[in-house]
Structure 1
């Protein structure tokens, strides 16, 4: 590991405390029985509690460090995500028309479902920035399930950015962290189907997955920023 890698690791560990909207347990860290209340311990079988308590202190410290590193990475990636979306917007604002090739050269929009690339114009990007900013804000104010398809896609873009940083700096994160985080942040998400190569999937669910549905709330209790709904 280089000095730069050490620097980014310490920076991310420092950022971990800013991610107040998600607990380390939600990010995959198994709690220690000594840190639980009596009520919380009742939620686990005695065998599971014994297994948690039997984890060697050194392994426990490593798991805590890796999960804190993941928390800091998500915080850091949320800032990079918004910054790069503004760069994408600046790029698109200079184009008369948008093609799939244009989107392929962008930083974030290129991670969205490619079938709709020609629709990712400046107006769409402005709406997506607002939704993405709202999603990343929940990392601080308290996580809430994405309220529309665009919000789910913003989460996927956030995790994509986190993976890029992980690969660049060879970060030591929890094994299979993305799958674990997606299980929490994108539980029962419909947006994965948008990446399907099968046109039948998109056509059959056009009423729910069509491009015009992306900024519409899933249900009456879900919220989407007013600008994105306009």
Structure 2
């Protein structure tokens, strides 16, 4: 996780764009080279195939590099993967916040919840589906503010630990968006995917939140998922409650009640006060 400094985030964002441009130029060069080869008369096709195979080998290994060369280059490839992953996370932060804002607007326009929304949503419908009926405009605004607060701490160097369950869910969406960003630009491979996974593992203290995605049962109190460490029915009303006194949750989003009502909606106390 130490590799993901604010500087590496911004350098990585630039690198994502640079790699994409370089790949475009490489494709154009290969196209021009192919036209030149077709125009040349009397060229032996077998020789052309051998040249092509040699070029493929050079691209994979590099001139004069065998197994030993690949091993020597491994640290460099790992550093590049971290840089690309960091840049993808910064880029994904922008996309995630923009699209969460669109989701807020959609729910506000329809005055509905995610469960009953008739329009396409970017991210809110990717939250645990069993609670989709409680994801209203108010919840969406609080979730958006939480996403802004978390990504700000990532990029300005002030991040220490995740503050609440909602931040754990934001991070899940952020990492998924970063994967999609790398894939979009043709930069997602084993190394960059591993770099993102290592980042997430370094930030998450546990994965208890994943039980929220389990299939719902008729009675949540009978759900075995609630029996996990630190997981009880009362957490349903505390998605925006700090894990402890040292954790940060944005004042707009934070649950004000010290003891959440068991089985209450994720929107918590604000559902009854109009968000004031």
- How many equivalent pairs are there? 183
- Which residue pairs with 2:202 in the alignment? 184
Matches of 2:209 and 2:13 in 1, distance apart? 32
- Which residue pairs with 1:98 in the alignment? 113
- Which residue pairs with 2:15 in the alignment? 13
TM-score (norm 2): 0.59
Shift of 1:104: 8.1
- Which residue pairs with 1:51 in the alignment? none
Shift of 1:14: 6.7
The equivalent position to 1:161 in structure 2, one of 158, 165, 177, is 177
- Match status 1:73 vs 2:88: yes
Matches of 2:145 and 2:187 in 1, distance apart? 29
Shift of 1:136: 0.3
Q: Is the 8 A contact 2:147 2:170 kept in 1?
A: yes
Q: Which deviates more from structure 2 when the two are superposed, residues 168-177 or residues 219-228? A: 168-177
Q: Is the 8 A contact 2:106 2:119 kept in 1?
A: no
Matches of 2:245 and 2:204 in 1, distance apart? 19
Shift of 1:223: 1.6
Please give the per-residue CA displacement for 1:77-131, whole angstroms capped at 9, x wherever unaligned: 0111101111111111111322425288310112211111111111001111111
Q: Say which structure, 1 or 2, has more relative contact order (CA 8 Å, 6+ apart).
A: 1
Q: Is the 8 A contact 2:166 2:240 kept in 1?
A: yes
- Match status 1:135 vs 2:150: yes
For the structure 1 residues 172 and 189, does the alpha-carbon distance in structure 2 shift closer, same or farther, using more than 3 Å as the test? closer
Q: Which contiguous aligned blocks of 4+ residues in structure 1 show a shift greater than 6 angstroms?
A: none
1:25-104, aligned counterparts within 5 Å? 56-100=71-115, 102=117
For the structure 1 residues 67 and 226, does the alpha-carbon distance in structure 2 shift closer, same or farther, using more than 3 Å as the test? same
Matches of 2:155 and 2:200 in 1, distance apart? 18
| Structure label with greater radius of gyration | 2
For the structure 1 residues 154 and 191, does the alpha-carbon distance in structure 2 shift closer, same or farther, using more than 3 Å as the test? same
Measured on the aligned residues, the alpha-carbon RMSD in Å equals 2.7
Unaligned runs of 5+ in 2: 1-10, 18-68, 218-222, 257-276
The equivalent position to 1:223 in structure 2, one of 244, 248, 255, is 248
- Which residue pairs with 2:33 in the alignment? none
